[in-house]
A and B are shown apart, each in its own frame.
Chain A
Amino acid sequence: MPVITAAIDPVTRIEGHLKIDVQVDTVNGVQQVVDAHAVGTLFRGFEKILENRDPRDASIITSRICGVCPTSHSVAAVLALDAACGVGGDTPERTNSRLLRNLVHGACFLESHLLHFYLLSLPDYITGLPMAPWLPGWRMDKRLDKAVVERFRGNYLKAVEQRRNAHEMGAIFGGKLPHTPGYLAGGFTAVPSANDQALFIGYLNGLIGFIRDVYLPDMDLLGSLYADYFQIGKGYGRLLSFGVFEQDNGASPALLLQSGRLATEAGGVQAVNPALITEQVTYSWYEDSQNNLHPSVEDTRPISPKGKAYSWLKAPRYDGLAYECGPLARMVVSGQYPYSVSVMDRHRARAREALLLANAMLGWANDLLVGNSAYTPCDLPVAVTTAAGLTEAPRGALGHWVKIRDQKIAQYQVITPTCWTISPRDTAGNRGPLEQALIGTPVANVDQPIEVLRVVHSVDPCLDCATHVMRAGAGAKIHALGALPGRK
């Protein structure tokens, strides 16, 4: 049987536009993925949109990169702006700024994790409610009995409510979510009241209960029924985290979830040196003169079509190597999860991170200085200034790099977690992390490769975030599923 080339377009239950091309062959008697291309299908060019704007606008504009991790972009932007404007010191305003930024960001993490597990991932394992948009679905190996299906369906509906509650909780200080106006260069707009604090803690206690008593047990049950997925989707096994959630007001604050990277188990957790990050564009629709540059000097010059390029996602590499990021990377480098990389490990680390974070948020909410401003007055630098803001979105490492000239944005670069994880091949021809993770995935039914979707969803792709993404011209050999010659 020849190698079958098939495409899933659109990949649904993600944020944004993604197409997956896979080649499937039978190896050692098992039909499986032997090659993969991850292809985004949207390019918006936020870096160009930001040029010549007031640098302080970056937190408002970049929030709109993504409706699922908006506050993560705002955090990255204000970290860069605080650095550029010289905001520092151990003051009550800085304390409230840190706490409010953490609490609204944390609310969005919890929202995203619940959304991801129940609404985006579970339909790969259970059949949903008997109507659109849950029907039709793909045929799958049903390993869940009726009682388990009913349990998951019921908890899906509870999760709809709980993820909404997480956003309502964040809006107490953020005003509206997604896209809060709260994050400012120098701090945060809200001045917390005792009522705000009580309301926030009320919501948070409900979420902690749901995560502990429903989400984690559901995750463990799914993991036990699909234990083979602890061996599927392993990929390179290289993990990267920038770290997130500041715990003090110092210049290099302690973080709840640590910065670090892990290339091999023997090598252990190593420090991240941002100077070793480059973006490669050999297979991306950007001018080759932009190849292999550090994001602080990188430009975004689209060109299409271009030779063998197949994506507008650039390929970020750390010291030349592809890394995946996300909750699993954060939890492993923080010593909170054993080093094990797979579909189910990603889901389980995400669930455990949700509980760890929610409990920490309770402490931050109690620490709020009621009635105190969260803003430190600051001025934009007059001299040419470059600054970086490194943080984490729910789905992984996020970096913003800004160059300010004449108090305007001269240059802006964003590397999103999805750029790391869903990146195309690099200059050396090495696959991106998701492309690699798909290799070896067994596929029972090539027309409806549910197994491929399970691997894709485990990394929680957010193509809206991957601002440099686009599908190249389709080759004649690529066919949509169900439209393969002689197949239906």
Chain B
Amino acid sequence: MVVTRRAFLRYCNLAAGAIGLDVLHLSKLQTALGRPGAPSVIWLHGSSCTGCSVSFLNRISDKPGEPADVAEVLANHINLIYHATIMTSAGDTAAAALKRAQESGNFILVLEGAVPLAFGGRCCISYSYAGREVTHAQAVQELAAKAIATVCVGACASFGGIPASGSNPTQAVSVSKLIGRPTLNISGCPANPDWVVWAVVQLLLAQNPVLDADGRPVALYTTGHDGSAEEPIIHDKCPRNPGNTGTLVATQFGQNGRCLEHLGCRGPHTKARCNASWNGIGGHVYPQAHPGHWCIGVNAPCHGCVEKTFPGPQSFYEPYEP
């Protein structure tokens, strides 16, 4: 099941077209992954729920040349030297690996979770090194200054998310607010694993994705699963959109297939390629193997979790006005 790095590169040669890599990309990817000094990846948790990491573990793909699951991603695609949820080492051994990479500067930084500033940042300690506790805010400042690139996964790192909502008791901020410059944001609550893998591979290829005003790669909501152009707004591709399909507007939950705009759906204000994108192979529909899912598909409202307005102070169950 787990292929070697070399075998993966052979797949890429066979299937370059299918994964949208041209010859130039391919040679770069081979160079990126093949050389001993290839960049490693550091994944650091701040004020988070670990949900983006769990989502990352849900990676699945059947596209030739793409890593089929997270084990392949880790074995063949990225050298993930620090990820607190899955790494074997602990304590000083783990912290030392982090410091070594930090000093080398040859790493891509993936950040999950917001950055709390209350109590001098001490409401989120990242690790201890040489007897000193390092707050998440310190760790992000130090690592982001050295990283080849910084990727925010999830609503919290990208925009502050739930920790920064309401009265924001820990004075949580987004990563870009902390470091004072824009970041590449793979938003969502959680971040979709395919989007995360896509972003990291782009960076390993030294590609700079086109970003929107919120730092999100435009390709991730303007491109469909088959590579064709796609409506960016959830409401515009919703099978329950009354304008497109003549369905009725629901007056309460449990009315199968009706539009939920009056019950809090944020689909008209949300840009994402969510359709058939979650917990399955992107684009697959039943009875294909591992069909993808989305909130819309289970008669649930879209909560707009990819937007920087998430969660906002408004009820999830009243008509939404941004």
Q: Which of A38-46, A319-327, A391-399 contacts the other chain?
A: A38-46
**Within the assembled complex, what's the spacing in Å between the Cα atoms of A180 and B128?**
35
B166–A51 touching, CB < 8 Å: yes
**Within the assembled complex, what's the spacing in Å between the Cα atoms of A195 and B287?**
8
Query: A160-B70, A448-B93 known; A304 and B287 CB under 8 Å?
Result: no
A375–B253 touching, CB < 8 Å: yes
A67–B89 touching, CB < 8 Å: no
**Within the assembled complex, what's the spacing in Å between the Cα atoms of A478 and B133?**
11
A482–B92 touching, CB < 8 Å: yes
Query: A12-B84, A191-B256, A199-B286 known; A483 and B298 CB under 8 Å?
Result: no
Partner of B278, one of A175, A374, A464: A175
B48–A53 touching, CB < 8 Å: no
In this assembly, does B203 line the interface, its C-beta being within 8 Å of a C-beta of chain A?
A: no
A15–B85 touching, CB < 8 Å: yes
B87–A132 touching, CB < 8 Å: yes
A42–B47 touching, CB < 8 Å: yes
Q: How many residues of A contact B (CB 8 A)?
A: 100
In this assembly, does A148 line the interface, its C-beta being within 8 Å of a C-beta of chain B?
A: no
Q: Which residues of B contact A86 (CB under 8 A)?
A: none
In this assembly, does A163 line the interface, its C-beta being within 8 Å of a C-beta of chain B?
A: yes
Considering the complex, give the chain B residue whose CB is closest to the CB of A480: B128
B167–A49 touching, CB < 8 Å: yes
Task: Among B45, B89, B165, find the residue whose CB has the most chain A CB atoms closer than 10 A.
Answer: B89
Query: A11-B90, A171-B280 known; A68 and B50 CB under 8 Å?
Result: yes
Query: A67-B51, A483-B130 known; A199 and B291 CB under 8 Å?
Result: yes
Query: A9-B133, A48-B169 known; A54 and B316 CB under 8 Å?
Result: yes
Q: Name A300-342 residues within 8 Å CB distance of B.
A: 302, 304, 312
In this assembly, does B15 line the interface, its C-beta being within 8 Å of a C-beta of chain A?
A: no
B69–A161 touching, CB < 8 Å: yes
Q: Which residues of B contact A178 (CB under 8 A)?
A: 49, 51, 54-55, 190
Q: Which residues of A contact B40 (CB under 8 A)?
A: 132
Query: A70-B51, A177-B279, A189-B299 known; A119 and B315 CB under 8 Å?
Result: no
B268-306 vs A: 1/0 string, CB under 8 Å?
Answer: 000000000011100000110011011111111101010
In this assembly, does B244 line the interface, its C-beta being within 8 Å of a C-beta of chain A?
A: no
Query: A54-B318, A157-B1, A172-B293 known; A41 and B90 CB under 8 Å?
Result: no
A174–B298 touching, CB < 8 Å: yes
B60–A164 touching, CB < 8 Å: yes
B84–A181 touching, CB < 8 Å: no
**Within the assembled complex, what's the spacing in Å between the Cα atoms of A482 and B161?**
37
B170–A44 touching, CB < 8 Å: yes
Query: A129-B75, A171-B293, A373-B256 known; A43 and B170 CB under 8 Å?
Result: yes
In this assembly, does B197 line the interface, its C-beta being within 8 Å of a C-beta of chain A?
A: no
Chain A's interface: helix, strand, loop or mixed, by majority? loop
Partner of B300, one of A9, A42, A181: A181
**Within the assembled complex, what's the spacing in Å between the Cα atoms of A131 and B36?**
13
A164–B316 touching, CB < 8 Å: no
Write the nearest CB–CB distance from B212 to chain A, whole angstroms.
22
Query: A131-B79, A157-B71 known; A373 and B2 CB under 8 Å?
Result: no
Q: Which residues of B contact A46 (CB under 8 A)?
A: 162
In this assembly, does B210 line the interface, its C-beta being within 8 Å of a C-beta of chain A?
A: no
Query: A67-B49, A171-B280, A175-B297 known; A50 and B91 CB under 8 Å?
Result: no
Write the nearest CB–CB distance from A13 to chain B, whole angstroms.
7
Q: Which residues of B contact A160 (CB under 8 A)?
A: 57, 69-71
In this assembly, does B117 line the interface, its C-beta being within 8 Å of a C-beta of chain A?
A: no
B179-195 vs A: 1/0 string, CB under 8 Å?
Answer: 00000000001100000
A42–B166 touching, CB < 8 Å: no
A138–B166 touching, CB < 8 Å: no
Q: Name B109-156 residues within 8 Å CB distance of A.
A: 116, 118-119, 122-133
Partner of B303, one of A54, A60, A374: A60
Q: Which residues of B contact A44 (CB under 8 A)?
A: 47, 116, 123, 163, 169-170, 172
**Within the assembled complex, what's the spacing in Å between the Cα atoms of A119 and B317?**
37
**Within the assembled complex, what's the spacing in Å between the Cα atoms of A127 and B88?**
9
A173–B298 touching, CB < 8 Å: yes
B254–A374 touching, CB < 8 Å: yes
**Within the assembled complex, what's the spacing in Å between the Cα atoms of A48 and B168?**
8
B316–A56 touching, CB < 8 Å: yes
Q: Which of B22-30, B94-102, B225-233 contacts the other chain?
A: B94-102
Considering the complex, give the chain B residue whose CB is closest to the CB of A472: B122
Q: Which residues of B contact A56 (CB under 8 A)?
A: 315-317
**Within the assembled complex, what's the spacing in Å between the Cα atoms of A119 and B131?**
28
A481–B91 touching, CB < 8 Å: yes
Query: A13-B85, A129-B75, A175-B300 known; A61 and B190 CB under 8 Å?
Result: no
In this assembly, does A133 line the interface, its C-beta being within 8 Å of a C-beta of chain B?
A: yes
A479–B50 touching, CB < 8 Å: no
Write the nearest CB–CB distance from A20 to chain B, whole angstroms.
9
**Within the assembled complex, what's the spacing in Å between the Cα atoms of A218 and B138?**
42
In this assembly, does A176 line the interface, its C-beta being within 8 Å of a C-beta of chain B?
A: yes
Task: Among A119, A178, A371, A473, find the residue whose CB has the most chain B CB atoms closer than 10 A.
Answer: A178
**Within the assembled complex, what's the spacing in Å between the Cα atoms of A17 and B122?**
12
Additional A-B contact list (6), CB under 8 Å, known A136-B88, A182-B298, A312-B123: A64-B51, A67-B190, A175-B296, A302-B118, A304-B122, A483-B92
- 15 CB-based A-B contacts, threshold 8 Å: A11-B90, A19-B125, A60-B303, A64-B189, A70-B49, A133-B86, A137-B88, A168-B280, A170-B279, A174-B298, A179-B305, A187-B253, A373-B256, A377-B252, A470-B124
